[in-house]
Amino acid sequence: MIMSKSHCTVLCCLACGKIILCFLFVILGLSHNVCDGSWEEIPGKRTITAENEVEANKLVNNYRFGFRKWKSHVTERPFADRSEVVKELYSELNIIKPHSGHLITFGNVVYVFLFGWWVSLAYFLVGILMFVTVTGAPYGKLCWKLSCYFLWPFGSSIHEIGNTLRRCCDQAPDCECNIDRVEESSTVLLPSPTEVLAPEMPDQPLRTPYWHRFSTYVWLLLGYPPLVIIHVLACFFSWILVITIPVSKMNARTLRIILLLPPEDVSVFIYSQRKHQDYETRALLCCYHAANWYYYKYTVDGINVFAVNLLPLVIVSLVIGYVDKENLFASSDVKFAIAISSIIPLSYYIGMGIASISAQSNFAVGAVVNATFGSITELTFYITALLRGHKAANPCLQEVVKAALTGTLLGCILFIPGICMIIGGLRHSEQRFNSRSTGVSSALLFISVGGVFAPTLFSKAYGNLVCDACNSSGGNSSGSFVCHNCHYDLVITNTTAALCLSYVYTLRPLVYTVSALLPVAYIIGLIFTLKTHSHIYNIHVGEGQVTGNHGAVVHWSRWRSLVILIMATVLMSACADLATEHIQPILNQPNMSQYFIGVTVLAMVPEIPEIVNGIQFALQNNISLSLEVGSCIAVQVCMLQIPILVLFNAFYDVGFVLLFSDLHLWASIFSVVLVNYIFMDGKSDYFQGTALVVVYFILLALYYFAPSPAGC
């Protein structure tokens, strides 16, 4: 049978309409009978456990729409409930424990080459200096002991001797040699945390107080300062390496305690397993291993050690950015790299502050804090870039902002779920998630992406607005126009005047309309998922699991969290200003498109804490939260960040026009369709994650080889 072209078109439209209708019904969870394929919803509630009321509130917030997904604890966990691995991370180095393993390990050998030899050499040289002063000879002897100790400290221990042993040394000049001989046939007792001081003998001469000795000041002026430098350097480098944090603790404890004790009170024992029951001692330092691979879990005041280590980048960025204006000590490329890297720890601190306030407050306060500060990182950078681009009359920064917005969408829709599926699938083979709650997020993604790109679709459909005669009373797009005989020209031209005219007369009202409707859709989504249909998440706090808030020690109080949020926001503004100031040399690279820089570096660097949280959720077989991490950010970008940028441009015209290039348009739409197809069956594995990540890198390749935007 021969059909006309119009009949074919109608049939194709009907078929496509059926597919789209089926697809929408599936993602919305309204019916399972509309399509040929169906699946079964996983029944039952998800029960979560928590140590206290604050942690329970934080865990529940993770499942709430619009709330930032946070993995780390906001309260101090009871030390007794921690695993043995974690207890080892936080254990002090003044406790002698039975050790049955080998001391010659890879980490200990590496310690000798990285730290041991030069710390030992420093002690040897300082010891010679103390012997030269004559009066500092006791300290020289101590330095030579510590020189041998720090060359290979593992298994050995440093003790503070008590009054009984001190009297023995006073009565017998060779008692130190006797100590070594007695140690060969005796074993070390587990030291008590406090020393019971024996009374001084009546006929025993009193020692000169430590601070009344001339040798003490010789030591503090000549011997102690160079060792301070040595130990500070060792602390810094070992802390930065993270896995060698025990070395940092060992050096810090030596600097704070051991080197400030009288030299006669410090004794080094070669074998920590031995007892010396005859002497009163207090263990000061004992280390068995220089490295521990699990130190990536280490936290300082609730903040992961990696975020703590990156925090000095903020200070470095501000100093070289605002002091070295002439680029005498650092180039613009280096300043940009440091400024953009400093956003990572600030994003982490902002996330911790939001989670702390939300966990300690009611639902309304938590929702407001998440809505206001949840997107502050990205908005700070976008607004700063738009202001700098407007001031310098540089249209490239506007295109970079649009590329960063699109890159955030692509990363949150494709890369974050994909990488979480891969890592979670490698550990748990197949993971399941609540397809109904994911369907709600998918529907919101459709609404948000459709609304954001509606002005672009309108522009592509109707072309430019052409008028026969126009008079402008102003010199820019915000000025008033008087035009006659206006009509739409379906032949799209690339002239700036035509684009400006079309935007002012038709697209700008459409943009304002869309920007007003998107936040309304976001609020409706909040009401739907948090109030009227909160049961779709099936979250239940286990009875008897929450022990109350009375024993909980919160890392950050509400006021402290608020102060940190404000400070991090101010620092974020300064770092974003420096990044946009020094981004131009990066944009001028001849072999790299400005689009690629926006969709990669500027889009994904602020989301690194979210990626880490999503991966941690996936490793714990909680793929639902991993998927919600990306969806939550993508929805906030479309429904909050872009309307705020449009509102900002309405009050202060920086030339932000909500018109995206074809590559942004089709890449975003294709990504949303693909990810909803992947989410359809409520199951995930590493193959599906690989598909999402591969598509993401294909799109990045398109951006890499794409020509630069017009005017750049």
Phi/psi at 222 (5° precision):
-110, -40
What are the tens digits of pLDDT across the range 439-465? 777 888 888 898 999 988 888 777 655
Q: Are 346 and 572 in contact (CB under 8 A)?
A: yes
Three-class SS of 117-180: HHHHHHHHHHHHHHHHCCCCHHHHHHHHHHHHHHHCCECCEEEEECHHHHHHHHHCCCHHHHHH
- Which is nearest to 248 in space by CA: 261, 263, 262, 232? 232
What are the tens digits of pLDDT across the range 277-327? 445 678 889 888 999 999 988 999 889 999 999 999 999 999 999 998 888
Q: Which CATH topology does 298-471+483-537+552-705 take? A: A middle domain of Talin 1 (1.20.1420)
Counting Cα atoms < 13 Å in the Cβ hemisphere of 658 gives: 31
Q: Are 702 and 695 in contact (CB under 8 A)?
A: no
Other beta carbons within 10 angstroms of residue 38's beta carbon come to 11
Say which residues have a Cβ less than 8 Å from residue 214's Cβ, sequence separation at least 6: 135
Give the pLDDT confidence score for residue 60 in this predicted structure: 82
Average pLDDT for 92-115: 85
CA 134 – CA 146 distance, rounded (Å): 19
- Which is nearest to 396 in space by CA: 563, 593, 549? 593
Q: Which of the pair, 423 or 545, is modelled with greater confidence?
A: 423
Average pLDDT for 692-708: 91
CA 247 – CA 239 distance, rounded (Å): 8
Cα–Cα distances (Å) from 279 to 163, 171, 196, 285, 627, in that order, read 9, 15, 11, 17, 61
What are the tens digits of pLDDT across the range 566-590? 999 999 999 998 998 888 888 887 7
Q: What is the DSSP string of 435-478?
A: HHHHHHHHHHHHHHHHHHTHHHHHHHHH-EEEEEEEEESSSSTT
CA 69 – CA 62 distance, rounded (Å): 5
- Which is nearest to 62 in space by CA: 560, 562, 529? 529
Give the pLDDT confidence score for residue 446 in this predicted structure: 86
Q: What is the DSSP string of 470-529?
A: EEESSSSTTS-EEEEEEEEESS----HHHHHHHIIIIIHHHHHHHHHHHHHHHHHHHHII
Q: Dihedral of CA 386/390/394/395: which sign?
A: positive
Q: Are 406 and 399 in contact (CB under 8 A)?
A: no
CA 425 – CA 432 distance, rounded (Å): 10
Q: At what angle do helices 5-28 and 435-452 cross, to 10 degrees?
A: 130
CA 399 – CA 379 distance, rounded (Å): 15
- Which is nearest to 568 in space by CA: 390, 409, 343? 343
Three-class SS of 288-303: CCCCCHHHHHCEECCE
Tokens, residue 334 = 């280096």
Q: Ranked by mean pLDDT, which of 46-55, 154-163, 480-489, 604-613 comes out on top?
A: 604-613
Angle (nearest 5°) at CA 499 between 493 and 501: 125
Other beta carbons within 10 angstroms of residue 315's beta carbon come to 11
What are the sequence ranges of the domains in the chain? 83-168+213-297, 298-471+483-537+552-705
> What is the identity of the amino acid at 38?
S
- Which is nearest to 417 in space by CA: 385, 391, 441? 441
Mean pLDDT of the chain: 79
CA 126 – CA 222 distance, rounded (Å): 8
Alpha helix ranges (H) inside 244-323: 245-256, 305-310, 312-322
CA 393 – CA 475 distance, rounded (Å): 14
CA 160 – CA 281 distance, rounded (Å): 5
Cα–Cα distances (Å) from 41 to 26, 48, 155, 340, in that order, read 12, 20, 57, 43
Counting Cα atoms < 13 Å in the Cβ hemisphere of 356 gives: 26
CA 472 – CA 479 distance, rounded (Å): 7
Q: Does residue 22 carry a pLDDT above 80? A: no
B/e letters for 604-627, b = 16+ CB within 10 Å, e = fewer, are bbbbbbbbbbbbbbbbeebbbbbb
Angular region, 392: left φ>0, alpha ψ -120 to 50, beta rest: alpha
Q: Which of the pair, 697 or 624, is modelled with greater confidence?
A: 697
Average pLDDT for 203-226: 84
Phi/psi at 66 (5° precision):
85, -5
Place 41 in a pLDDT band, splitting at 50, 70 and 90: very low
- Cα 210 to chain centroid distance, Å, stands at 47
Other beta carbons within 10 angstroms of residue 705's beta carbon come to 11
Residue with structure tokens 């007369």?
505
Phi/psi at 15 (5° precision):
-65, -45
What are the tens digits of pLDDT across the range 124-145? 999 999 999 999 999 999 999 9
Angle (nearest 5°) at CA 178 between 174 and 179: 115
Phi/psi at 210 (5° precision):
-60, -45
Give the pLDDT confidence score for residue 581 in this predicted structure: 87
> What is the identity of the amino acid at 333?
D
Average pLDDT for 390-396: 83
